[in-house]
């Protein structure tokens, strides 16, 4: 009996010692707090959970846990989440990413992206994409969102088409595909792909149907747009009534400009600075010979949307027809300058997105967007500069 008792005591002591010294549970706990296995593009982890995970990881690393690379990557996630990841890309160079789990790579890519460290986010998601495992769907979702935002649109199309095959009833890949073609102004492709969204959307899909009507108008398919609008109005008149701008656009493209005006007035009562409503109102006023009113509407559009070249062209026509030839020529020159400016912006964004180390393009982008009042885009590129560990430049102040 004494021998048996000793064996039990030794066994219990061993288990206790192992429990006290085995730090793997701390890594598991940190992973549970920071890494989600859902297919969604997650919201940031609550700060209290980030703090708990960071404490566990620092203890784990101090006690020399076996999975050092995973722990270090998870610790970087904590820093991205808490906004203290200055120099993260250099630290990432010290981590063997091939030893990290795919879920960890994707969560790290998402955290870096949400912290505006776009080059690092792309670097991490690239490693995750090289793997074919059970996390493939989540990896593709994250890759599509990250690469859409950094301008790698051909990659986005490839990711979404693969994702559509993995999740054939999900409308979201088709939504992103639609957005790619919308950005290109390829309205026939927009309509074609948004039909895929509609077939995969459950319920009455009233909002989606109203969006499709707008796309049909952009593509010039006015007859189908009218059929869809009338069907929507019959099924849900309160929804159609809440879409005065859409109704006005439909009437205008049908050649019924006078009937569109009351709907534009309603739209502008709801949202006085709606540049689309103001632009359409200005076009109708110009056609009706109301030059002073048209100029007022179009000048406001130019003020609200400084890169809207079409509004500048129509405004130049309004100035000419109102006898303000000098103003008309000046606005026409501005229209041509905007075209050159936008081409330069496109070239710079392409260069910056294709080369994470291209600082000069980023600095110029910040400056150009600040000049035209595009503060959101200026901040986007300013933060991209800051994430390269270079500090604030004169162009950033």
| pLDDT tens, residue by residue, 147-183 | 988 778 889 999 999 999 999 999 999 999 999 999 8
CA distance 85 to 119: 14
How many other C-beta atoms can be found within 10 angstroms of the C-beta atom of residue 169? Answer: 9
Is pLDDT at 66 greater than 90 in this prediction?
A: no
**Domain segments of the chain: what residues?**
24-86+93-162, 169-242, 257-339, 355-397
pLDDT of residue 62: 83
pLDDT range class, residue 40, cuts 50, 70, 90: low
- E strand map for the chain: none
pLDDT higher for 54 or 296? 296
CA distance 196 to 214: 16
pLDDT of residue 334: 87
pLDDT range class, residue 19, cuts 50, 70, 90: very low
pLDDT of residue 29: 86
Domain 257-339: CATH superfamily, name plus number: Tetratricopeptide repeat domain (1.25.40.10)
pLDDT of residue 301: 95
| Residue matched to tokens 């309603």 | 266
pLDDT range class, residue 225, cuts 50, 70, 90: very high
- As given in the structure block, the two tokens for residue 271 are 């949202």
pLDDT of residue 396: 34
The SS3 of residue 254 is coil
Is pLDDT at 20 greater than 70 in this prediction?
A: no
Is pLDDT at 9 greater than 50 in this prediction?
A: no
pLDDT digits (tens, 9 = 90+) for 181-212: 998 889 999 999 999 999 999 999 999 999 99
pLDDT of residue 206: 95
CATH architecture of 169-242: Alpha Horseshoe (1.25)
DSSP 117: -
The SS3 of residue 46 is coil
pLDDT of residue 373: 66
Q: Indicate if 257-339 has the same CATH topology as 169-242.
A: yes
pLDDT range class, residue 84, cuts 50, 70, 90: confident
Is pLDDT at 258 greater than 70 in this prediction?
A: yes
Give the mean pLDDT of 9-15: 37
247 closest CA partner among 225, 278, 279, 275: 225
Is pLDDT at 14 greater than 70 in this prediction?
A: no
Is pLDDT at 267 greater than 70 in this prediction?
A: yes
pLDDT of residue 38: 52
For 271, phi then psi, to 5°, come to: -150, 90
108 closest CA partner among 95, 87, 125: 125
Give the mean pLDDT of 306-318: 91
Confirm if 103 and 124 have CB atoms less than 8 A apart.
no
- As given in the structure block, the two tokens for residue 219 are 């593509």
């Amino acid at each position: 009996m004494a021998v048996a008792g000793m064996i039990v005591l030794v066994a219990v002591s061993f288990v206790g010692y192992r429990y006290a010294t085995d730090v793997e549970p701390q890594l598991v706990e940190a992973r549970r707090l920071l890494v989600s296995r859902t297919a969604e593009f997650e919201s940031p982890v609550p700060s209290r959970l980030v703090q708990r995970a960071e404490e566990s990881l620092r203890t784990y690393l101090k006690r020399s846990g076996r999975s050092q690379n995973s722990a270090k990557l998870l610790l970087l996630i904590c820093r991205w989440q808490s906004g203290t990841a200055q120099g993260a890309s250099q630290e990432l160079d010290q981590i063997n990413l091939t030893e990290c789990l795919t879920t960890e790579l994707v969560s790290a890519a998402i955290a870096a992206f949400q912290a505006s460290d776009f080059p690092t986010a792309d670097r991490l998601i690239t490693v995750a994409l090289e793997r074919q495992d059970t996390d493939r769907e989540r990896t593709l979702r994250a890759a599509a969102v990250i690469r859409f935002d950094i301008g790698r649109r051909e990659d986005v199309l490839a990711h979404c088409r693969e994702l559509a095959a993995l999740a054939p009833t999900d409308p979201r890949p088709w939504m992103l595909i639609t957005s790619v073609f919308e950005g290109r102004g390829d309205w026939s492709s927009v309509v074609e792909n948004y039909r895929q969204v509609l077939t995969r959307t459950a319920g009455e899909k009233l909002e989606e149907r109203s969006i499709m009507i707008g796309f049909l108008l952009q593509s010039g398919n006015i007859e189908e747009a009218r059929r869809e609008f009338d069907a929507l109005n019959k099924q849900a008149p309160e929804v159609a009534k809440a879409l005065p701008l859409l109704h006005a656009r439909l009437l205008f493209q049908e050649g019924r400009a006078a009937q569109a005006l009351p709907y534009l007035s309603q739209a502008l009562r709801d949202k006085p600075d709606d540049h689309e409503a103001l632009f359409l109102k200005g076009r109708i006023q110009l056609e009706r010979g109301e030059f002073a009113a048209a100029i007022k509407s179009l000048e406001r559009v130019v003020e609200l949307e400084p890169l809207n070249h079409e509004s500048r062209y129509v405004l130049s026509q309004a100035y000419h027809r109102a006898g303000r030839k000098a103003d008309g020529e000046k606005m026409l020159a501005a229209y041509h300058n905007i075209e050159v400016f936008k081409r330069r912006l496109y070239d710079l964004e392409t260069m910056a997105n294709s080369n994470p180390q291209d600082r000069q393009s980023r600095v110029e982008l910040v400056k150009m967007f600040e000049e035209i009042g595009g503060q959101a885009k200026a901040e986007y590129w300013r933060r991209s500069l800051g994430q390269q560990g270079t500090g604030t430049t004169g162009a950033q102040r």
